[in-house]
Chains A and B, each alone.
Chain A
């Protein structure tokens, strides 16, 4: 009896350790089998292969759609950036010692107002600048009046005044340092840009 018990215990031990070793080896064995199965399936009948092709095509189509959507998004972002750049690139110009918005600047400002309607979250900085002629303090005042004139024009076109911040730089930041009428005309400007903060 004692012998039998000892034998059966030994058998149980061997069995359990074998089971354990099998279960440990189970995963790689199974995956090998499934790969074999897959290979077999592809070599099987045409109907099943077609079904698989369709599924692949469907996947491809969805991928393409996704890519197209991404492309659209990218394009939209690029367009938005271009619009934003265009918004910032077109300055409003003034006559010497004047803060009156010229007729020629009104189309540009209308475009800017449209942009601001399309982008209701955009906050705007309006910088007023002067040419180097004249004197610093007076030009700072003139620059502020130019920025305010542009702000008022946009407010009259329906833009919320709370979105428009003005600052004058007077003659401190010319974009063209040359001393001629062409440079001065460029420097007498209101520069607008979207505040990213």
Chain B
């Protein structure tokens, strides 16, 4: 079974490789268009029939449809899959059976399903439910993932999210975003405060109560701390706050303190401070002490973002007369300019894979999101004709980008694939939402 699993993974990786190759060739000719050769346009057709009530109890029957629907919806969030219409199915595992021996794979290959998920629910008594979930490769007639979960009757969402993580890990090598949160700013209370929601925008909870202007949330690599800027004491200061017990660390330096961002490899931050007279980027300990200065120009230097190996930062500088994105080596201090197209490039965020930086460009009266390849500086446009699209942030698996947009009027939080497809709004709450930041994996359980 193992070799089949890795074959599927290889198939997925091969698809990526070919697409990236094609992408590079076409991008070289023309940079300003939405890339149409990407994995998210060739979605994997997956069949998710209704689950089987294994003991046939009323509680089981109540859950077999809703759990299958929830699983479909959750899996679709990754944008890798196209869930197939159940009306086309030739067999019903809920009746016939959900195990490898019981599934007739030619019934699934015949309708074009490359993947199949079957599920069974068993009432385990005392308010506990048992889930049997299986992922099959229909063409190879093999099981790729088989999992059994026991949980309370209310934990349907946790179970489906965890199984979706297993499916993605099997197919892409990464568990995806199902155990992530998103921090963002909302004016719901009348003030700009930080909120934290699940990866899909559900269950937003207010995190700060400064009753002031609060901006730029940034997750530490272990997901235990949020650094951010607040005007709580009538000037923009950085606060470093523990997610659970709300322990607080501050930075002593005078002047403006903005755009903190945590190192992906250790408990250090890069942030913009102005205590030496102009805006420069500094390296700080997790306790808010300055280690060293990372930039050196008389004009604006702001918005650092780390390379995934923690050896470089990319940042915005006006040293050439307009805001452009630069990269700097932490150790040597060597600086390289990355963006040349456009007169206003800001908000860089380095991809977890390290190959691209996503950023926003102001063009006429729009702000649009682009990715740029670190190696050859090729740009790919991700948004167009949709107002201000700002603050892009990568999901930890590098497949999705969360951002804010005022395309529907007030600013809201949206998500799209790293190629700009599947753009959708994540949540709808009073006020305006900005500055979304994806947490590292593993903080949602």
Contact = CB atoms under 8 A, between A and B. Distances in A.
Interface in A110-145: 133-138, 140-142, 144-145
B300 A145 contact: yes
A172 interface: yes
Nearest to A140: B258
Contacts of B236: 140, 167-168
A144 B347 CA distance: 18
A138 B302 contact: yes
6 contacts: A136-B215, A138-B316, A144-B256, A144-B279, A148-B278, A169-B213
A137 B323 CA distance: 11
A135 B360 contact: yes
A90 interface: no
Contacts of B279: 141, 144-145
Interface in B259-295: 259, 272, 274, 278-279
B344 A97 contact: yes
B431 to A, nearest CB: 14
A135 B215 CA distance: 12
B434 interface: yes
Interface in A23-63: none
B435 interface: yes
Contacts of B365: 133
Nearest to A144: B256
A142 B316 CA distance: 12
Contacts of A136: 215-216, 390-391, 434-435
Contacts of B274: 141, 144
Contact of A138 (B303, B434, B435): B303
Given A135-B362, A136-B391, A137-B258, 14 more contacts: A97-B323, A97-B344, A134-B344, A135-B360, A136-B434, A137-B215, A137-B346, A137-B347, A138-B316, A138-B346, A141-B256, A144-B256, A144-B274, A168-B256
B259 A137 contact: yes
B132 to A, nearest CB: 49
A170 B139 CA distance: 57
B169 interface: no
A141 B362 contact: no
* CB-based closest 7 A-B pairs: A141-B300, A135-B346, A141-B279, A138-B346, A137-B259, A141-B302, A137-B303
B157 interface: no
A169 B216 CA distance: 14
Nearest to B344: A134
A172 B214 CA distance: 10
Contacts of A141: 256, 258, 272, 274, 279, 300, 302
A141 B258 CA distance: 9
Given A144-B256, A144-B279, A137 B235 contact: no
Interface in A62-109: 97
Interface string B354-395: 000000101001010000000000000000000000110000
A97 B434 CA distance: 22
Contacts of A168: 236, 256
Nearest to B360: A135
A73 B441 CA distance: 69
B322 interface: yes
B319 to A, nearest CB: 13
Interface of A: 97, 133-138, 140-142, 144-145, 148, 167-169, 172
A127 to B, nearest CB: 11
A136 B215 CA distance: 9
Contacts of A97: 322-323, 344
A168 B346 CA distance: 18
Nearest to B215: A136
B298 to A, nearest CB: 10
Interface in B319-333: 322-323
Contact of A167 (B216, B235, B278): B235
B328 to A, nearest CB: 17
A145 B316 CA distance: 15
Contacts of A145: 278-279, 300
A142 B300 CA distance: 8
Nearest to A167: B235
**Of B259, B279, B434, most A-chain CB atoms within 10 Å:** B279
A38 B425 CA distance: 94
A144 B256 CA distance: 8
Contacts of B360: 135
A135 B346 CA distance: 7
A172 B346 CA distance: 17
A75 B60 CA distance: 85
B346 A140 contact: no
Interface in B167-185: none
Given A97-B322, A167-B235, A168-B256, A134 B346 contact: yes
A97 B344 CA distance: 9
B272 A135 contact: no
Contact of A135 (B213, B278, B390): B390
Interface string B232-266: 00111000000000000000000110110000000
A187 B94 CA distance: 63
Nearest to A132: B388
B174 to A, nearest CB: 29
Interface in B297-311: 300, 302-303
Nearest to B213: A172
Nearest to B365: A133
Interface centre among B235, B236, B272, B367 (most CB of A within 10 A): B236
B362 to A, nearest CB: 6
